[in-house]
Amino acid sequence: MRNSWFDLSAADCGVAKVALMTRFALFPAVVLLAATAAAASAQTAKKQLTPDTYDSWRTISGATLSPDGRWTAYTLAPVVGDGELVVRATSGNAEYRTPRGWTGRPINSVTVDSPFVAPPPVFSGDSRYAAVLAYAPQADFDAARRRKARPADMPKSRLKLVRLSDGNVTTIERVRGFRLPRESTRWVVYQLEPDSGAAPAGNDSTRRSGAPRREYGSLLVVRDLESGAESRIADVSSYAVDDSAKWLAYAVTSHTPANEGVFLRALGSEQRTPVLSGEANYKQLAFDRAGAQLAFVSDKGEYPKDKARFSLYYATVKAPNAVAIPATLDGLTPSDRGSVSFSRTGSAIVFGVAPAPMDTIPADSLADKAVFDLWHWKDPRLQPQQLREIARDRNRSWTSVYTVATKSALRLANDSMPNVTLSEDAKTAVAVTNVPYAIEAMWGDGGSDVVLIDVASGKRTRIATKLSFGASLSPSAKYVTWFDNGRWHSYSVGTGKVVDLTGALAGVRFDDEEWDSPSTAAPYGLGGWTRDDKSVLAYAHFDVWELDPAGVRPPRVVTDSLGVRTHTEFRVVDLDPEQRFFEPNEPLILRAFDTKSKAAGFYRDRLDGAAAAPVRIVMADVGYGNPQKARKAAQLLITRSTVADFPNLWTGASFDQLTRISDANPQQSQYSWPTVDLVEWVSGDGVPLQGLLYKPEGFDASRKYPMVVYYYERLSDGLHQYHAPTGRNVVNPSVYTSLGYLVFFPDIVYTPGWPGPSALKAIVPGVQSLLARGFVEPKAIGIAGQSWGGYQSAYLITATNMFAAAVPNAPVANMTSAYGGIRWESGLARPFQYEKTQSRIGGSLWEYPVRFIENSPLFHLDRVTTPVLFMHNDGDGAVPWYQGIELFVGLRRLGKEVYMVNYNGDGHNPRKRANQKDIDMRMQQFFATKLKGAPPPDWMVRGIPALEKGRDQIAPKATATSSPIPESQRP
């Protein structure tokens, strides 16, 4: 086996020994001299993209249209720094801008999971005002951090109200949050932060025994948008405003128990009506959609010893005297965790029930005791997963429903059916549960049962078992649909009849035709329903089909098979999320994507009348974002992009009549920017493939360029994706082409059981097809990948010496040890990944030991001649970093050139901004050294001893071996 690239036994894969094609010729390893880099740097007079440019590149977020479609508002912010609110007219040139403060907040700690996301702006119902929460400038936050300010003394947010008639901005300081109701034409309600010098929250000892901690309120303000007049309410702990902006409900929790309670008042009136009074906590206030009913939970009343018990309360606006609802269900009581809401029709209250909070064991009581986890072979969830989910388990509440008309309550969810969907009229519920198959899910054999619940009687009927893709309830709750055995099925809630909706369509597949994992192919999905659940729209690969859920009318292809004929994928566009169905007599808008050329656009079709091909509105060589439509006007807002065009905002009355109304990054014209070609070749298995070749501005086909190859699975659909310059653990084509490289993104298709050889047989021929064109320097090709791409990079260098440098970040090196590992971020065991999903082995370690070994780079590291740099962090929650250690130790033992970077405590993809930029810098330096002949940086020459840890980031040493890289090659 060791004498050929790969050798499979007949018993293992059903074929005789297979050697890869001899046209995968091996290139001798070389160190490219600096002379070849000169060609890459002589592009244009434009500037290169360098790390100091990354943070200033701006993004557009939270873009929204006013109800009348005459305005759009969005946040324009740099990656790091202060942003601004932009309010722009959709016709003409009127535009208002106001600072929004520190909205570009980088993650500066490895313990933070997600970046700060500023909430989007909102418009008043009459489109006369825009409102947004703004923040202090970054400089104020930095100053507070330097003086180690307490959380209460950190800079506070502020409310900004923009009058659209003239752009006047009203700023209100120290605002915690606000509500501008959906139909409000006059009122905005906001809550202020407590004064930093205010007395601390009250003395809990004044509360009755067993009551939960007091949650005292702060000042609530009702403001007239036009006049500026304000009404102030003290000590408000929670509040709700109905969609029509007629009613305000609020809870008062103060140091004076006699003043406490829930109150109702009409907006614009100072008169308040008590809904429930008394010393208590009041939470989760909610109106129904009509603004006629109110519900909340409270702990008012008697308390068991050492426990607090909440009750659900109900009132109407006409009779605002809250009544406690007797809702002790299976020994559980309404919970202050979760949320209270009304069903869409307002006929029922949806709430959570839970047992009294469980006591925790004080840590100091275990000081002289054994502390351990017991892993039991029948546990549905392994101990690591239980520990990761312990906060969720401790605070879980079970969905329940109270039907107003019958005054009856029913607990819908429980520990065996934790997830439930309730119909809009609250008469029917569907539970989809994977609990019965939790153990099998460890190796990818899980599934879900579907249970129908009749809310009136409480009857539960199991209607499907062990489905791979769950089930859904139709909008009018007449049917439950699911996908199984390659077919769509429906279940009639009224009759109990199950119908196979697509089995009779010979030759039409509704599951993914390109699925290349050893698991059940996923469906393309459903596009929505027509009124009264008359029909459901289902996707095949290219076309949209209309199915009769009753099984009476035959299926029909809505798009008249135009998708199949033109290799164009059609998908339904929902421009009105509030509309629960599509009207057959109204135009049906379709998103279109040409899978061959990657052009995109929109078509128009209808569901009534005879089948006819959809009518094209627009198709273009661009990438479109998700469109939105104004609520009360025929005005559209969408982004469109190319590799060279940032996804700016475009607006118009039709998709073919759009005008650009933003210019987020005008500075881009100063920098070298790539072009991109869609390239095609044939894999080693004879499969036609596509990929993306990014070329530097001013590309000259008569010269030879260094090239970096980056991949994951399939990336060619991103032909028109814009890549803002950024520093991270991936190859950014905008940055690397600016530095003089070609960048190649090849697609990969897989043979289940052989992911490593599949990558080899896809990538190497793709590279060779570019070499044949004559503009790639064959001795200056590098490869890089992250995670799954990192694994494939590690495998490739064991099978070919074509590449002069490799960066296999966060890779799996040894599938035999990775198979039995844990994904520590989720606590899940890893076998499912190898047996059924991305790693594609197709079975267990004991079924296919040869596959595990042959696909593992570790066992073939003696073949490696390529220098390697990679990142693997000790806080990686997806691929345990011991995989990186195995790769590093193996290469070191064999005397191979290898460097491993570990960002302490950071995750699979670095979260901390400084770490992101650091790995970007080191990757660029590594490739410059190996592919351009630049002098190696000091860390590659002498390493970074532990005693000097961090010094290279504060005061880098200037040594003869770390002489400056020429400016044309500088990362």
pLDDT tens for 488-503 read: 999 999 999 999 999 9
Q: What's the pLDDT score for residue 302?
A: 55
Render pLDDT for 422-478 as a digit per residue (tens, 0 to 9).
999 999 999 999 999 998 988 889 999 999 999 999 999 999 999 999 999 999 999
pLDDT range class, residue 214, cuts 50, 70, 90? low
- Over residues 723-752, mean pLDDT: 97
Shortest CA distance to 735 belongs to which of 870, 928, 954, 910?
Answer: 928
* Confidence at 383, pLDDT banded by 50, 70, 90: confident
pLDDT tens digits, 284-301: 999 999 999 999 999 987
pLDDT band with cut points at 50, 70 and 90 for residue 355: confident
Q: Which residues of 784-809 are buried (b: 16+ CB within 10 A; e: fewer)?
A: bbbbbbbbbbbbbbbbbbbbbbbbbb
- What is the per-residue pLDDT across 611-627, written as a single tens digit (0 to 9) for each? 789 999 999 999 999 99
Average pLDDT over residues 205-228: 73
Is the predicted pLDDT of residue 28 greater than 60, yes or no? no
Write the pLDDT tens digit of every residue in 101-131.
999 999 998 888 788 999 999 999 999 999 9
pLDDT confidence of residue 196: 54
Q: What is the mean pLDDT of residues 357-362?
A: 72
Q: Kindly tell me if the per-residue pLDDT of 362 is higher than 60.
A: yes
Which pLDDT band, with edges at 50, 70 and 90, does 173 fall under? very high
Q: According to the model, what pLDDT value does residue 1 have?
A: 31
pLDDT band at 35 (very low <50, low <70, confident <90, very high): very low
pLDDT exceeds 90 at position 959: no
CA distance 729 to 917: 8
DSSP 374-388: ---TT-SS-HHHHHH
State mean pLDDT over 330-358: 89
- Give the residue-averaged pLDDT of 780-798: 98
- Is the pLDDT reported for residue 967 higher than 70? no
Q: Give residue 63's pLDDT.
A: 98
pLDDT band at 203 (very low <50, low <70, confident <90, very high): very low
Would you state the structure tokens that stand for residue 240, as one six-digit string? 């709700």
- pLDDT value at 676 more than 50: yes
Q: Average pLDDT of the chain? A: 89
Say yes or no to pLDDT of 317 above 50.
yes
Flag whether pLDDT at 7 surpasses 80: no
What pLDDT does 255 receive? 79
Nearest alpha carbon to residue 608 among 531, 549, 504: 531
What's the average model confidence in pLDDT over 223-245? Answer: 95
Q: What share of the chain is helix, strand, coil (3-state, %, to 5)?
A: 20, 30, 50
pLDDT band at 628 (very low <50, low <70, confident <90, very high): very high
* Alpha carbon of residue 532 to chain centroid: 33
pLDDT band (50, 70, 90) for residue 41: very low
Residue range 649-662: mean pLDDT, rounded: 97
What's the pLDDT tens digit per position in 543-557? 999 999 999 999 999
Q: Using CB atoms within 10 A of its CB, is residue 821 exposed (0-12), middle (13-18) or buried (19+)? A: middle
Residue 925: pLDDT over 70 = yes
How many CB atoms within 10 Å of residue 728? 19
Nearest to 894 by CA among 860, 928, 929: 860
Helix (H, G, I), strand (E, B) or coil at 365: helix
Dihedrals phi, psi of 928, to nearest 5 degrees:
-60, -40
Q: Is the pLDDT of residue 210 over 50?
A: no
Q: Which of the residue ranges 667-681, 690-704, 815-829 would you say has the lowest mean pLDDT?
A: 815-829
Q: In the chain, pLDDT over 90 holds for what percent of residues?
A: 78
- For residue range 239-262, list pLDDT tens digits in order: 999 999 999 999 999 877 788 999
Mean pLDDT of 720-732: 96
pLDDT at site 577: 87
Tell me what pLDDT residue 821 has: 92
- How many C-beta atoms surround the C-beta of residue 220 within 10 A? 23
Q: Do the beta carbons of residue 113 and residue 875 sit within 8 Å?
A: no
Tell me the average pLDDT across 691-717: 97
The encoded tokens of residue 226 equal 């036009």
Give the burial class of 877: count Cβ atoms within 10 A of its Cβ; 0-12 exposed, 13-18 middle, 19 or more buried: middle
